[in-house]
Structure 1
């Protein structure tokens, strides 16, 4: 029985498959084009037995752009296609999620930015609803910046989450940050909003002022998901390679940043995490692999598990 489903975000590297219609507005991009691309991606995922995928955040281009009203009715215009694609996702037992862009900042002191953020979240939730997906299809968000006062930002964030439409709020899950708003802040928000928490393990290692060990952090995050819903976590390993760039004929060395994702995943770190998770909880959950290698990193990790952890490999799908 598969206990941990592996997924990857957005871009497919193992085949020439666009993730969404990325044309500029002058070329009349449309959700219908993105959905045709997405159907091809679903077929690719099915062939490779991948059951967890993060869709592109801009499937419906310019959907909420205030100056481009011609794009605002794409969900209604594609209602049949959305429902059919949701049926295909269920037939393939495929869990789908979304992660809106960085400008979604509910904690901002700027009313205009908050209103745009609400529109983006409403649209993301409406898209998942139009596909007929269950509550495991979450929209993952961050608190974002601190705007000079992290406590006040978190308070504004919680207040605005609670004021969202119920249909939008039920889709949301909150991810801990790597520079601001660590797991302890996420737990504070969870207690005031009920938002489910997505533990990003690399972010947690980069920012953990409360000093939670990974096992405790995982248990705390998983416990925020109601029974019957399947939690998700984000797993990545930091980039360690030295980069060399030639600029104006001279070589420049770039050291990797600790919060940058590696191209592929360290299989031994992943195995250690699985063993830790199995010791701490019997609950099944999904693991979004955040690596530059995308689907190629996922497929390689599966191979490595069969080699280096054959007893664990059957638990991972």
Structure 2
């Protein structure tokens, strides 16, 4: 249920409604609006209509059922776009945010060189993996804590927020010490214990789409994070598994349009993992922006041919520079349409 407060409702009246929701056994989530506040009450669906009695409380304008199964992610609860601030960067605002960096942190020189270069070329956020869940147990698994330390150092030198993947609920506190944004990868998109754990911290979370997930399932995973109190969720389309073998995955650009209709959360796109080949990344990046993406996540490596992981899909510095310059031109055209 959504409890809509009157524009003139006082803070005391808001607190009283919150208290009543808790007494009835539901969890209140306050969304502060520009003209009025609303409260999402979530819990056992079977007795939700008991919340209708809240209409009699002072300051309450209406109690409205939420029809979507993803309550807090739905536009039924929050019609305005969610804009997530990370330092000086706003994700979900007017500017297309570019997240760039290597698949994995390999050594100090590699990550610092990459951070300085992508920042100079126009990237806003630095990415790099410290823990790498890999299909093969023999592949490079990341540097762990050392990788986190190097990533943070590189971010500080380049003056960029940093994002890295967290793969285990036990690692959440450690990763929070070093990263500004947590990432949930495709293999953990339905790891519900991990989703609940990152929902208990206030760091922004990039939630990648599971490789075989429907949009509804993806939004339900976002709901796990939101329901624990963390409102800072960013959805990342990174391609889904289909019968096609020409690319690593099939980039579902239609998901952007659907998500813009269904949710207030920011949506970004990872064309690197979607295609698996560096030569396809620029065109898919432009297409994602045209479809309405709020940002892009691009893999960049000083020497892709020597990368420890995902070299074929990583752009080198010169290719990334051309992409960013072309994106500026392309974005200016899209804004006029």
Normalising by structure 2, what TM-score?
0.48
Structure number, greater radius of gyration: 2
Normalising by structure 1, what TM-score?
0.50
Larger RCO (CA under 8 A, 6+ residues apart): 1
